[in-house]
Amino acid sequence: MDQFVSSAGCEGKLLLLDCRSLDYREVSMGGENASSSDAPVLVITNSNVKHDLGDGEYPVRVRQCKEATDILTKMNPSIQSLRDATMKDVEAAAKSAGLEGVLLQRARHVVSENERTVKTADALEKGDWETVGKLMNASHTSMRDDYEVSCEEIDVLVNLAQTFGDGVFGSRLTGGGFGGCTVTLVKKDSAQQLIEYLKTQYEANTGTKCVCFETAAASGAKAIDL
């Protein structure tokens, strides 16, 4: 995904990427009102926890998702990956096909996250920031509890942002997990205050300094004629 957006990125737009077909569509924040001064901005916060993908936990997640998929496939042969399943499929497999424990958690996260991603794209285009924020918060909860790829420091940052008060719509872990960064959707006129708050409170809570910056979608890499 990083390589894709680095080449296909478009100024002022996010990308909704289908990782199976590699089809994508550009998503404007606010649609026709994308240039509105009311549009929020994104604040990225680096926890300064090294992004080592959990010392081998990444392949464990891959294996667990494959095992969960195998259970779902036996129930419904049309399900060839978790991407093909719905939450109703997951619930049915939990009731009658033996999908349980950590495999149920992993399947529930992946399937619900796919649904949240599509809903978020639609809400972004409508400028429905409240819904986007709720979906971001739900995403972090799912990554923390069902996929278990967050960590204490990231949870501190997310909680600080989510409880900041007026101006913040939502916050979540971004990237592969086990450290790294958070992304927060916030009103532009509250962004700098949020940044200072995160820096102060994160260090007070963890003893570690974080790095924050406001950002916006930009064009991807391209050839330049000199």
- Exactly one of 2, 55, 166, 225 is catalytic; which is it? 2
- Strand 41-46 relative to strand 13-17: parallel, antiparallel, unpaired? unpaired
CA distance 148 to 136: 16
Output the tens digit of pLDDT for each of the chain's 226 residues: 888 888 888 888 999 999 999 999 999 988 665 555 578 999 999 999 986 655 688 899 999 999 999 999 999 999 999 999 999 999 999 999 999 999 999 999 999 999 999 999 999 999 999 999 999 999 999 999 999 999 999 999 999 999 998 899 999 999 888 999 999 999 999 999 999 999 999 999 999 999 999 998 888 888 888 8
Q: Report whether 39 contacts 127 (CB < 8 A).
A: yes
How much is the pTM?
0.91
The answer to whether residue 70 is catalytic is no
